[in-house]
Amino acid sequence: MTGAIFYKFMRYFILNKLPGIFLATFLMFFLFPPLNIIADQPIVVVLDPGHGGDNKGALHNGYIEKEMNLIVAKAMKEELEKYEGIVVYLTREDDTIDMNLKERAKFAENKKADFMFSLHFNMSATHMLYGAEVWISAFDDFYAKGHSFGQIQMAAYDDLGLFNRGIKTRLNNSGDDYYGIIRESRKLGINTVLIEHCHLDHVIDEEFYALGDFQLEEFGKLTAASVAKYYQLKSSLLDIDYSDYPVPAVPVPTEVMKQDLSPPDVCYIELMMVNEEAKEAVINLTAEDYDSRILYYGISLDGGISFDTLRPFPAGETELTVTVNLPTGTEISILAAAYNAYDRITQSNIILIDPLTEAEILAEIEEDEEELLDVTEVSLKEFTQELVEMQEQIEKKLNEYHFIIIGIVILMLILIAVIISRVDLLRRLMKS
Ligand SMILES: [Zn+2]
């Protein structure tokens, strides 16, 4: 009986190829053990606060990058050490030390680092750019791991409300990674990403660090959480368990992941309408970059001499309706500029708008009124002048009549005198 059951069991086992599966699973477990089984050896992470010593990094309005980087790094280390199975080192512990990039890479190698995170704040030459970005190696597994971590970090920035400038690679003229810290550590087999938390020279980003060190420490905590997610760590202290965190899978690229070297391919504008009452123009902006993506767009009203604050161009879109506020009393040349992920710019066509017609009409009415006033004034003057002339003429004529009347009176008097004298003469004649 027992033998029969065993026989049936074995038959089932063989027919269903289960032994092979069991054996394969058994071997897989030993050849590729899950991360937590080999976690006897802790993850080693090196945090590199960028710059230091005389190398202050970016400077703007009293913000000193090397100091900000160190505050972030220290908070990040403190936070990461709350997780189990991780060891954290800082390349520099204070602001007096400067290390060159090779020294930083060597430091990470000496610590047998699994990953190095180089922490920075950004600044642009024009002070017009804002937002966060992660720079990664352009090569094979370094790219894949960097991009996987980058996605977690960028998602955290999105949640915080920082503008997302993306995860990017950049090559130098020799075709190697452009950023020294990434290049030098890759040579030593260490994967490094360079994190630009945001721009220390732009008012849009300033709200994320202007209030004090506690905000910088938030950057440290945020980035620590990204590392913990990436390595699926747990912290009983924080009551956090990321062991099921869905780490983004990035395939190892078969070629070098080059950067976009060309400006945006498309940028043009169309005038949809002008609302004179609201002093607005509505334009349709089409912008596209076939290699990377459009990050921002700017609007100029003076044909490209000056631009307003760059506005985010919605990811995945190629067209956008933009309302532009128009100044009055001046000719307007609307032009748009599209920025790609590498801050390369393409400017659009120009749309000319005459000075607002409303203002024009107003000006015309004023002119007409002035003319009308002029006309009235002129005719009034003429009229009074005519009146005066008429008066003068009447007076002249009256004067003339005076002479005539006086003349007539004198003549009449003479006539009377003559008549009287004749009467006297007649009397005398009659008497004699
Ligand atoms: Zn920096």
C-alpha torsion sign, points 237, 238, 241, 247: negative
Q: Say if residue 149 is exposed, middle or buried (CB neighbours under 10 Å; 0-12, 13-18, 19+).
A: buried
- Beta bridge pairs of residue 59: 64
Half-sphere exposure of 57 (CA within 13 A, CB side): 28
C-alpha torsion sign, points 290, 295, 301, 306: negative
Residues 6+ away with beta carbon under 8 Å from 149: 115, 134, 193, 226, 227, 230
Helix-helix angle 2-15:18-31, to 10 degrees: 70
Look at residue 408 in the predicted model and tell me its pLDDT. 82
Q: How far is CA 173 from CA 170, 243, 258, in A?
A: 10, 41, 12
Q: Cα(49) to centroid of ligand 1, in Å?
A: 9
Q: Cα(72) to centroid of ligand 1, in Å?
A: 13
If one counts every other C-beta atom within 10 angstroms of the C-beta of residue 388, the result is 10
Look at residue 6 in the predicted model and tell me its pLDDT. 55
Q: Cα(13) to centroid of ligand 1, in Å?
A: 63
Q: Cα(85) to centroid of ligand 1, in Å?
A: 29
- Provide the residue type at 389 as one letter: E
Q: Cα(63) to centroid of ligand 1, in Å?
A: 12
Pairing assessment for the beta strands 240-241 and 234-235 based on DSSP bridges: antiparallel
Give me the phi and psi of 249, to 5 degrees please: -90, 120
Q: Please list the alpha-helical segments (H only) found in 167-212.
A: 180-187, 203-206
List the one residue out of 344, 350, 248 whose CA is nearest residue 295. 344
Look at residue 241 in the predicted model and tell me its pLDDT. 98
CA distance 71 to 400: 111
Q: Cα(121) to centroid of ligand 1, in Å?
A: 6
Q: Cα(185) to centroid of ligand 1, in Å?
A: 17
Look at residue 379 in the predicted model and tell me its pLDDT. 64
CA distance 397 to 408: 16
Q: Cα(51) to centroid of ligand 1, in Å?
A: 6
CA distance 317 to 294: 9
Q: Cα(197) to centroid of ligand 1, in Å?
A: 10
Q: Cα(43) to centroid of ligand 1, in Å?
A: 26
Q: Cα(3) to centroid of ligand 1, in Å?
A: 75
Q: Cα(117) to centroid of ligand 1, in Å?
A: 12
CA distance 180 to 101: 6
Q: Cα(292) to centroid of ligand 1, in Å?
A: 23
Q: Are 205 and 157 in contact (CB under 8 A)?
A: no
- Which tokens hold the place of 204? 């849009």
Look at residue 330 in the predicted model and tell me its pLDDT. 86
CA distance 262 to 25: 50
Walking along the chain (432 residues) 10 residues at a time, the average pLDDT comes out as 56 57 52 51 97 96 97 98 98 93 97 98 97 98 98 98 97 97 98 98 97 97 98 97 98 95 95 91 96 94 94 94 91 95 96 73 63 63 79 80 79 83 73 65
CA distance 3 to 1: 5
Residues, CB within 5 angstroms of ligand 1 (ion): 50, 57, 120
